[in-house]
Amino acid sequence: MPFESDHRMKILIGTVILAGGREADEEPYDLKISNSRSVQMSSSVRASTAKVFDRGNQQTAVEFKVSKKHHSSADAQSHVLQLASSLKTLPPTLTVIEEPSNATYSLGDAAMEDVQSTCSGIVSTHVYRIIGGNFTKN
């Protein structure tokens, strides 16, 4: 679970809110961003070392969790069901907005790779993994 702070984050994919930030009292936690690039290795028969060629294709993965307390276990279950039904077709941009500074970051060519949603009592939890191209500050 996140710790209390004035610094919050709002995360959206297209217009679907994944973490509502201060307004919704939803703070993402366990944020992890990893970058990988396509490389090609080449080795010659008589070469002492292999050559590595950067092919310039970058992939960024953004992973995070969001938990929210609801008024009842039925509300928590309903939230999990509503979110699952909203993730059918998503626009290809992930947006992260830092609060209160409103600094904005984007992940272009984004696709939701994995979502795990659970509820335990009155708490719903979602674990997201979104992959895309370059992660940039706007």
**Tens-digit pLDDT profile for residues 89-116:** 778 899 999 988 999 999 999 999 999 9
Query: Which residues does the chain have with pLDDT short of 70?
Result: 1-7
CATH top-level class of 8-36+58-137: mainly beta
Task: Please report the pLDDT score of residue 7 as a whole number.
Answer: 67
Give the C-alpha distances (Å, rounded to integers) separating 134 from 13, 30, 44, 67. 15, 21, 33, 27
Q: What pLDDT, on the 0 to 100 scale, is given for residue 6?
A: 62
Whether a cis peptide bond, with omega within 30° of 0, leads into 100 is yes
The Cα–Cα gap between 53 and 132 comes to 21
Cross-sheet strand order for the sheet of 28-42 = 28-42, 51-69, 123-132, 111-120
pTM check: above 0.85: no
